Structure 1
Amino acid sequence: MEKDKLRRKMIMTCFKAGFGKIDITPDLPVCTLYTRDKNQIADKITSRLYVRTAVFENDKVKIAIISGDLLALDSDFTTRVKKKIKRLGFKPENIMISCTHTHTAPNTINFNGPKFLKKEKGYLKKLETKIVECASSAQKDLKSAKIGIGKTKIDLNVNRREIGRMSEVNDLNSPTGLTDNETGIIFIEQNGIKKPSVIVNYAAHPLSMGKKSIKTISSDFPGEMSRIMEKDFKCVMFLQGCAGNINVKISGKLKVARKAGRIMADAVRNVYKNVSWEADCKLDMKTSEIDMPVDALEVSIKAHLEKKETENISTKEWLKKALKKARNTRSVKTIVQTIQISQAYLIALPGEQFIETALEIKKKSGKENCFVAAYANCGEIGYVPSPKAFKKGGYEVDEAYKYYGDHVYRNSPAAPSAFVKKALSLLKITNRKKGDWIR
């Protein structure tokens, strides 16, 4: 009995967690995703942008989970940041960098069309420094901790391909179509700290600010959820799910974003009231390369040239790049990650994954608490539509890939199953004695 008590005490002392939060709001004026194609600039801040870091450590491994109030970050950027964070004692493969995917944030990824302004490049340099500072702050905050895992359902998202986009829905009572309203929650209590911290995973495009707010900087509903909860929580991190075909149901201006944020915050708080705590916390992280299938460029170029409509600047630039690329490419390398924190298993996928991918991983994982995040580590691959979506076509299938400057390929209908297979294979070896980087 005494030996068991001593063992539990040693384990609790061994498992540690720390948190960091740094303001990344840009100086105005600045270009955003919405304004870049309209020769406009954002000249108003309705809510501040932040990067948040959670660091977890035991006697075997140390990991960092980073989430920024940003649209997307490409793999060149995240690789540079990980190399800098490595100096703090982390393995680059034990670092996850993700974005909430708010559309009212500075343009941080190289889209075709209007080029990066000097101001945007300057912001990216500052952003690199701030993310590293945030990781350092979280590491300095490490304290013995315990974990509480929870789930709840929040009816705030809608399948935009089945039901409609924002202007066609904009009603909390509207049908949802195929979606996943499960919210994965990881609560953390640090020894000696009154306020708990939390990581929240949910899938919904952050578009509650709406296109009426295109000249605005805002963290949208994920940021509003964090702002509301951080009155009585220490750090509230949002990890965006597989929202490639999923929107938030309501849109408008700041008032609507705050309403959506309040709905999220209230639901998470309710779970916290009855959460069970675990001090005997397992911790592990695995990272693996994946050869993501892409369509042959010949197919995309031929389909493009057969169209007789007037081309915009983005698709013209895509065509120039596509014609120069190697035509025989059939796959592009990216990464998948799995993280175990206590009884929670978090999958980190790149790009704009469709909800079908998350649902399949959850169903086949065999894990009670399997949470799937997207928009992680490699934002330039763009949308990864489901095979069913490819048959129907549409924006995510036929048009969006032409906007991503460094990834000219249309992702293949086989890509989702490749991600599912890789995620499930990593889950099988999580917390086994293998290297953190899996080939």
Structure 2
Amino acid sequence: MQGFTVTQQKSLEAEFPLQVGAASLKITPPIGSVMGNSYGMNISEGIHDDLFAKALVFDVDGVKAAFIALDLISLPYGLVAETRELIATQTEIPVENLILTATHCHAGPQMNPRFLKNIGGEAEKKSLEYLKQLPEKLLKAIQMAEASLQPVKASIGSFYEEKVNFNRRFLMKDGSFRTNPGRLNPLIKRAMGPVDPLGSVVLFETTDDRPLAVLVNFALHPAIVGGNQFSADFPGVVSQLMEKSFGEELVTVYTNGNSGNINHIDVQNNSFLEQYEESARIGTILAADVMKALSSRRPLEINSLEVARMEVAIPIPNIDQQKVIWAEGILDRFGKSSPPNFGDVVEAWRIIDLKSVNKERIAREQYTTTVPLKKDGNAILSEVQVMGFGSELALVGFPGDAFVELSLAIRLKSPFTNTIVCEQSGNGNISYVPDRKAFLEGGYEVNSARFSPGGGELLVEGVQKLLIDIFYD
């Protein structure tokens, strides 16, 4: 019987070269820890719905790679670095063959050490302990997925959705540019950019047609739910509805496309639902879109797996030491009884993230989640990643809260039949990633950006080079 099993496995691998393992692991922080969006500092009082790490491990002819999506707002550099170190020592997956991505949900844990310090007390202790344990949890999720590797069939579908996603940057009648200027604002002239209506759905099924995992990608800011209860927002709703349809064993890996300038607010409509109701509405619409896409999916022929990554040094503006002192004072007051105005907080956080320090990585991680600077202090060291499955599918790990124009440019010039861009990836947080045009317009996203004009395009060029390299390898 044992010999038969081995022979059968070899024949399956010949017929189905791609092996996939999938796992889902709960990563909800403890109640009483600090939560919120990028700048949020609420102490959590409950759990509306759990946060998860969703892991996929791939193997084609001995080449292994892993992809893991996290219900977090972003990826702290330290989290990525520590997780990669664990993967390198405790799995058979090369560290360079790992892509981590965050869904960018805004009702997850606050991870900025500076903001946690401002809260202090038991809430800070709980948050720091949670963050300390997170790399081990991610390792466990990947190990669980690796242990379940099996030959699979892969297929892909797509959908077009334009009723829930809107560009949030507007040209006003006075010539200024504003982010989210308000519903029915009579001073709005027009939106200043496109949306990406394309959603992608990749289904992995066992050889006996049992759904194992589905990867969903759509570009929409998961910034609907706030408050003081943890929630995965509408990506969590999509996952819940997929499990109801296919069973709890299905692992739904939701990934966010570039949506730094895309959200759910229709400024032409003053009728809307609040938070959880709106999140449920949008999640239900997208889940229905996914189901329709699956009904017309087409098979993927995957005979090879190629993975590559590239460090991209992005130039930054000069930071004056006097501005650093000012910024330290602003952030010290943030979250206190007489807080500074929000615009000053945005500027101060950007300055602190870009100050040069001649210390080890661990020292930098005491005040920022942002990727390191070059030794000369003139650039931040970001990263792009690609994972190519044959010639028909590529997954792209793109850093930051990136503008939709950048992923549209990547897809336009990709040699792969299907290219799925996942933001909030790479080697860690870099905040907003506007395109060059936006720097001429200004606004919140540009004020938040950690780099000089053209940095987003440098990242796109890096992705395009990697895609061409692995396609023609």
Q: TM-score, normalised by structure 2?
A: 0.78
Deviation at 1:80, TM superposition (A): 0.8
Show the counterpart of 1:349: 398
The residue type paired with residue 132 of structure 1 is: L
For each residue in 1:33-85, what CA deviation from the matched residue of structure 2 results, as whole angstroms up to 9, or x when unmatched? 259756x4121211111110011101141110000111112122111112212
SS at match of 1:339: strand
Deviation at 1:220, TM superposition (A): 0.1
1:423 aligns with 2:463: yes
Tell me whether 340-349 or 422-431 shows the greater mean CA deviation. Answer: 340-349
Q: 2:160 aligns with which of 143, 153, 157?
A: 153
Q: Contact 1:345/1:367 (CA < 8 Å) preserved in 2? A: yes
Show the counterpart of 1:338: 386
Question: 1:3-402, aligned counterparts within 5 Å?
Answer: 10-34=13-37, 40-86=42-88, 87-110=90-113, 114=118, 117-155=124-162, 156-162=164-170, 165=180, 168=183, 177-192=193-208, 194-209=210-225, 213-233=226-246, 234-249=250-265, 252-298=274-320, 301=323, 329-342=377-390, 343-398=392-447, 400-401=448-449
Q: 1:412 to 1:289 in 2, by over 3 A?
A: same
Q: Distance in 2 between matches of 1:300 and 1:418?
A: 30
SS at match of 1:396: helix
Q: 1:331 to 1:316 in 2, by over 3 A?
A: closer
Q: TM-score, normalised by structure 1?
A: 0.84
Q: What is the RMSD computed on CA atoms of the aligned residues? A: 3.2
SS at match of 2:118: coil
Deviation at 1:126, TM superposition (A): 2.4
Aligned residue pairs: how many? 408
> Structure 2 unaligned runs (5+)?
1-9, 172-178, 266-271, 331-338, 359-374
Deviation at 1:109, TM superposition (A): 3.7
Deviation at 1:232, TM superposition (A): 3.1
Deviation at 1:166, TM superposition (A): 9.0
Q: Distance in 2 between matches of 1:314 and 1:270?
A: 41
Q: Distance in 1 between matches of 2:398 and 2:199?
A: 17
The residue type paired with residue 128 of structure 1 is: P
Q: Distance in 2 between matches of 1:245 and 1:169?
A: 19
Q: Distance in 1 between matches of 2:457 and 2:345?
A: 33
Q: Distance in 1 between matches of 2:217 and 2:38?
A: 28
Q: 1:352 to 1:314 in 2, by over 3 A?
A: closer
The residue type paired with residue 381 of structure 1 is: I
For each residue in 1:358-385, what CA deviation from the matched residue of structure 2 results, as whole angstroms up to 9, or x when unmatched? 1111112243311111101334211111
Q: Contact 1:35/1:214 (CA < 8 Å) preserved in 2? A: no
Q: 1:192 to 1:140 in 2, by over 3 A?
A: farther
Q: Distance in 2 between matches of 1:389 and 1:316?
A: 21
Deviation at 1:322, TM superposition (A): 5.5
Give 4+ residue runs of structure 1 displaced > 4 Å after superposition: 7-10, 34-38, 174-177, 298-302, 308-328
Q: Distance in 1 between matches of 2:376 and 2:425?
A: 27
Q: Contact 1:146/1:281 (CA < 8 Å) preserved in 2? A: no
The residue type paired with residue 56 of structure 1 is: F
SS at match of 2:43: coil
Q: Contact 1:184/1:371 (CA < 8 Å) preserved in 2? A: yes
Q: Contact 1:285/1:338 (CA < 8 Å) preserved in 2? A: yes
For each residue in 1:105-136, what CA deviation from the matched residue of structure 2 results, as whole angstroms up to 9, or x when unmatched? 01124455736711111111222221111101
Q: Distance in 1 between matches of 2:318 and 2:38?
A: 32
Q: Contact 2:38/2:73 (CA < 8 Å) preserved in 1? A: no
> Structure 1 unaligned runs (5+)?
1-6, 402-409, 434-439
Q: Contact 1:57/1:63 (CA < 8 Å) preserved in 2? A: yes
Q: 1:36 to 1:204 in 2, by over 3 A?
A: closer
SS at match of 1:119: helix
SS at match of 2:413: helix
For each residue in 1:221-265, what CA deviation from the matched residue of structure 2 results, as whole angstroms up to 9, or x when unmatched? 011101111123411111111111111246622221111111111
Q: Contact 2:80/2:428 (CA < 8 Å) preserved in 1? A: no
Report the identity percentage. Answer: 25
Q: Distance in 1 between matches of 2:155 and 2:401?
A: 29
SS at match of 2:281: helix
Q: Distance in 2 between matches of 1:329 and 1:166?
A: 36
Q: Distance in 1 between matches of 2:192 and 2:402?
A: 18
Q: Distance in 1 between matches of 2:84 and 2:102?
A: 15
Q: Distance in 2 between matches of 1:323 and 1:21?
A: 38
Q: 1:247 to 1:44 in 2, by over 3 A?
A: same
Q: Contact 1:72/1:375 (CA < 8 Å) preserved in 2? A: yes
Q: Distance in 1 between matches of 2:384 and 2:408?
A: 16
Q: Contact 2:237/2:280 (CA < 8 Å) preserved in 1? A: yes
Tell me whether 107-116 or 144-153 shows the greater mean CA deviation. Answer: 107-116
For each residue in 1:288-344, what CA deviation from the matched residue of structure 2 results, as whole angstroms up to 9, or x when unmatched? 111122222249949x89xx9966667557656756559963322121111113411
SS at match of 1:89: coil
For each residue in 1:338-358, what CA deviation from the matched residue of structure 2 results, as whole angstroms up to 9, or x when unmatched? 111341112111111111111
SS at match of 1:80: helix
SS at match of 2:406: helix
Q: Contact 1:15/1:281 (CA < 8 Å) preserved in 2? A: yes
